A and B are shown apart, each in its own frame.
Chain A
Amino acid sequence: MTDLADGFLYTFGAYPLFLITLGTVLGITVGAIPGLTGAMLIALTLPFTFYMPPVEGICLLVSMYVGAISGGLITATLLRMPGTPASVMTTFDGYPMARSGRPGRALGLGITASFVGGLISWVFLATLSQPLSDFAVRFGPFEYFTLVLMALVLIASVTQGSMIKGLLSGFLGMLVAMPGVDPSAGDLRLTFGYHELDAGLNLLPVLIGVFAVGQVISDIVGIEERAEAVTMDRRGIFLSVRDWMRHGLNMVRSSLIGTWVGILPGVGANIGSIIAYSGAKTFSKHPERFGTGSEEGIIASESANNATVGGALIPLIAMGIPGSVIDAILLGALLIHSIQPGPLLFVNNPEVVYTMIATALVANVIMFAVMLGAVGQVARLRSVPRAFLMPIILVFCVIGSYALGNRMFDVWVMLFFGVVGYFLERSRVPLGPFVIGLVLAPIAEESLRSGLMLSAGSYAPLVTRPISAVFLALSVVLLVWPIWRHYRQHRGARRGSH
């Protein structure tokens, strides 16, 4: 505990505090710009940290991580373009609320939820990282598969409007993830001899295209629509006691889901927010409000995606296993300073561990203060003329897609999926299921096939392994429950109309 106190003491030094503030603000900015992501910022900053002492480098990188995942909610709420993929679910309710004249409230809810999510996962990071990661390694391929299956089934529950179109969208998303080197045996498939496709359609260009570019196109089509009057209403930015009472449970539940999903290596922040959002909808008294500006939806999505940050640092610190793409880069930063992450990190380099833990909290607090302070200015983003905003966003999308792998191919993929996204949206095919399918299909495929390799082709462990059996049972319940509710509502509605 004294080590942790030392860690905090260190971060309160003028220079470290400056680095953390800088990192958080840069992270928020990059996170808020559609097309640019936190992973990109951190990868680009990595070379600078070679010239810093390791603890300073860690301060900078970790605070960027915290900032980036929070910044995404700004554009998700105001422009319906998720600044980072983890904020996709926030667009569903944040944007309708902002459109209905309450952008301040929507941002305030998102920011507060982000803060709470960060805080709760931090508590686990600081106190339980060892036992939690010991438990997380027990998740083998079958557990991953059933967990992912459960999230895939949630497609049915996040779908607004036509259920068939939601499922259609989910399958299309899965299909987009198929080309390239297959995630299991490493065979090339569906490349049709075109070598740029060998690495498949990368997740980020597709997401940037579907969400940011697709939205740019429909905003331009509707450029002559009367822009809604932007009334900057400061009411509701800060949560009242009643708000806390009403949303507290949802915040805690979503943060716990986010933390746990973060701990599982390779699952990711998007999935944390998807599961939490669907969970909130399932438990909500007003599931019908989801997708139309539900406060619960914003809270679930944002508290969960921030909670994954603390969660993903847990296996990194305790075992040297990176929980996310960004963690893998952090690991590289440690390695370059010849710090071996792993179980010995606490023994050999306690200062690094405790600085990392302390930074995660300090950056979270700074993020909260900076973002709440900037809500007024930021909300004006909606009054920038579209004629200016849209081309600039396109430039950032081009840079962001290119910088991922230094390839023009990714830029073309991004533009192509922009058009796809526009047409899907026009045909009222919901995009949420598309993301879920796209993100989860490769994990589902790899884990199922790995599991079958382990079991020599037997599917039995799916039900004989206890954790896997529980997830499987939950999947069935989650599949049947919304369909049953849908059916009952329909019948109720029909009877009511007679």
Chain B
Amino acid sequence: MEARARPVADIVLSMVLIAVGLVVIYGTLDLPPGTFEPLGSATIPQAVACGMIGFAAWTIVHALAERRALARRQAGAGDESDEPAARPRHDLALGLMALTVVYVLVMAMGWLRFSLATLAFLVISIGMLSGFERRVLPALAVLALGLAFGLEYLFTRVFVIDLP
């Protein structure tokens, strides 16, 4: 899987980057020209965006060529046998990121204080990743409690920072 070229992914990525580059160029159009020197604050972002668009376009050209080459090779050789490697768990990764977003959101909105939010986050996410095995639950509880309250104490009492 990893070894095979993924021209389609490259094309998508490059298109996204080209879009970002265009947004940047658009966003710098109304900036004033330089007052103290000839470049001003728009020139360099524009130059960088143009450079990026150029390389993204080049990547697309490259990927298209690769795709053609791949298609030709596959037509000749038939389907290659994918070896049954480990199943990629995109679901778990997505779940963890979603949990993290909720975790941060809950603190940003001030719904839960840091210690409680962290406790909940650790219990749910570690539980999810380890499939809620009964074996790990005691260790999980100790760890989550210790980290959540320990860190809160450390960062609000010892090092005074403004945790939510």
What is the bound-complex CA distance between A217 and B91, given in angstroms?
A: 11
Known: A386-B129, A399-B151, A452-B39. A223 touches B52 (CB 8 A): no
Partner of A398, one of B31, B103, B143: B103
Q: Are A175 and B45 in contact (CB under 8 A)?
A: yes
What is the bound-complex CA distance between A461 and B118, given in angstroms?
A: 55
Given the complex, which residues of A lie within 8 Å of B89, measured CB to CB? 220-224
Given the complex, which residues of B lie within 8 Å of A189, measured CB to CB? 27-28, 31, 41-42, 45
Q: Are A168 and B161 in contact (CB under 8 A)?
A: no
Given the complex, which residues of A lie within 8 Å of B143, measured CB to CB? 388, 392
Q: Are B59 and A182 in contact (CB under 8 A)?
A: no
State the Cβ distance, B69 to closest chain A Cβ, in Å.
15
Cβ of B9 within 8 Å of any chain A Cβ, yes or no, is yes
Chain A 217-231 per-residue mask, 1 if CB under 8 angstroms from chain B, else 0: 110111111100000
Q: Are B129 and A220 in contact (CB under 8 A)?
A: yes
What is the bound-complex CA distance between A391 and B143, given in angstroms?
A: 11
Residue of A nearest to B99 (CB): A391
What is the bound-complex CA distance between A171 and B57, given in angstroms?
A: 13
Given the complex, which residues of B lie within 8 Å of A394, measured CB to CB? 96, 100, 121, 125
Known: A223-B92, A395-B122, A406-B161. A415 touches B52 (CB 8 A): no
Which A residues between 396 and 445 are near B, CB-CB below 8 angstroms? 398-399, 402-403, 406, 408, 411-412, 415, 418-419, 423-424, 426-427, 429, 441, 445
Q: Are B121 and A391 in contact (CB under 8 A)?
A: yes
Cβ of A390 within 8 Å of any chain B Cβ, yes or no, is yes
Residue of A nearest to B128 (CB): A387
Q: Are B100 and A165 in contact (CB under 8 A)?
A: no
Q: Are A175 and B52 in contact (CB under 8 A)?
A: yes
Interface centre among B32, B41, B58, B163 (most CB of A within 10 A): B41
What is the bound-complex CA distance between A164 and B31, given in angstroms?
A: 30
Q: Are A172 and B104 in contact (CB under 8 A)?
A: no
Given the complex, which residues of A lie within 8 Å of B52, measured CB to CB? 168, 171-172, 174-175
Q: Are B51 and A403 in contact (CB under 8 A)?
A: no
Residue of A nearest to B5 (CB): A428
Q: B interface, by DSSP: helix, strand, loop or mixed? A: helix
Known: A395-B147, A415-B101, A449-B39. A190 touches B130 (CB 8 A): no
What is the bound-complex CA distance between A390 and B9, given in angstroms?
A: 26
Known: A164-B58, A415-B97. A185 touches B41 (CB 8 A): yes
Which A residues between 159 and 191 are near B, CB-CB below 8 angstroms? 162, 164-165, 167-168, 171-172, 174-175, 178, 182, 184-185, 187, 189-190
Residue of B nearest to A394 (CB): B100
What is the bound-complex CA distance between A244 and B20, given in angstroms?
A: 48
What is the bound-complex CA distance between A162 and B55, given in angstroms?
A: 12
Cβ of B112 within 8 Å of any chain A Cβ, yes or no, is no
Given the complex, which residues of B lie within 8 Å of A457, measured CB to CB? 37-38
What is the bound-complex CA distance between A279 and B45, given in angstroms?
A: 29
Given the complex, which residues of B lie within 8 Å of A392, measured CB to CB? 122, 143, 147
Given the complex, which residues of B lie within 8 Å of A174, measured CB to CB? 48, 52
Q: Are A190 and B92 in contact (CB under 8 A)?
A: no
What is the bound-complex CA distance between A49 and B72, given in angstroms?
A: 69
Which residues of A approach B to under 8 Å, CB–CB?
A: 44-45, 47, 162, 164-165, 167-168, 171-172, 174-175, 178, 182, 184-185, 187, 189-190, 192, 216-218, 220-226, 385-388, 390-392, 394-395, 398-399, 402-403, 406, 408, 411-412, 415, 418-419, 423-424, 426-427, 429, 441, 445, 448-449, 452-453, 457
Which residues of B approach A to under 8 Å, CB–CB?
A: 6, 9-10, 13-14, 17, 20-21, 24, 27-28, 31-32, 34-42, 44-45, 48-49, 51-52, 55-56, 58-59, 62, 85-90, 92-93, 96-97, 100-101, 103-104, 107-108, 118, 121-122, 125-126, 129-130, 136, 139-140, 143, 147, 151, 155, 159-164
Give 28 pairs: A residue, B residue, CB < 8 Å, sorted on A: A44-B161, A172-B17, A175-B20, A175-B21, A175-B48, A178-B45, A184-B41, A185-B35, A189-B31, A189-B41, A190-B45, A217-B93, A217-B96, A221-B88, A221-B90, A222-B86, A222-B89, A388-B140, A390-B129, A398-B100, A399-B163, A408-B108, A415-B97, A427-B6, A427-B9, A445-B44, A449-B36, A452-B38
